[in-house]
Amino acid sequence: MSIHVNSILEAVRKARTGAGKRNFEQAFELIVAYEGLNLKDPASRINEVLTLPNPIKGKEAKVCVFAEGDLALKAKDARADLVVGKAEIQRCQSDKKYAKALAKEYDFFLAQTDLMPVIGRVLGPYLGPRGKMPTPIALNSDIAGLINRYRNSVRVKIRNNPVVQCRIGVEHMEDEKVAENAKAIIDFLQEKVKHPAKISGAYVKLTMGPPVKISTGRGG
């Protein structure tokens, strides 16, 4: 299936018109559906982080950092959305409500390498099923650069359904930038998901609007 950026741009414009104005800023989403994808094969399941070419200002991903000491201070200076130390990680063992809220609220987790064992034991049951286990980071990592990269990224997932759904923009963004973000995700998927699976349809929508199908090179 061939999908040109101009076809995506046309769908973005139609989605914007079709959704109408609301009293809040709506988000653009990309939906990509597959046919012929064997979900029983672990190779067919995807959980990848993709940095978008155009940041989604105002709706950036939320990044939580597990760290102690100097790395924790650097993470706070870099304006991580939350910095969690070892004592607070261990609190999750007895406070399941807090652990669940943590796993739900934040999009990406980074963790000081030597904290990974306790995170796996205490938070693994909450982060693992969501595909959100932390990325280990060394003490000398460029934490500010990592936080910035993850903040401008999306998680591309195929798990129990042959569908990928990702945020690609918000209303105040230019249509061209939203379309470029969608194209980056589609290109990534076409490289990652192999034959015989193929895209059966790709759609763009705003939060309160109907999905608009992206036309393809074969007239779909």
The whole-angstrom separation of Cα 36 and Cα 198 is 7
- List the structure tokens of 202: 């790709």
Q: How far is CA 3 from the centre of its chain?
A: 21
Query: Do the bridges between strand 212-213 and strand 198-206 make them parallel or antiparallel, or are there none, so unpaired?
Result: antiparallel
| pTM of the predicted protein model | 0.89
Q: Which fold has domain 63-150?
A: Rossmann fold (3.40.50)
Q: Over 90: is that where the pLDDT of 42 sits?
A: no
Q: What is the pLDDT of residue 219?
A: 42
pLDDT in tens, 127-156: 999 999 999 999 999 999 999 999 999 999
pLDDT in tens, 59-75: 899 999 999 999 999 99
Segments making up each domain of the chain, as ranges: 5-58+153-213, 63-150
Whether domain 5-58+153-213 has CATH 3.40.50.300: no
Average pLDDT over residues 90-119: 96
Average pLDDT, the chain: 94
Average pLDDT over residues 166-179: 97
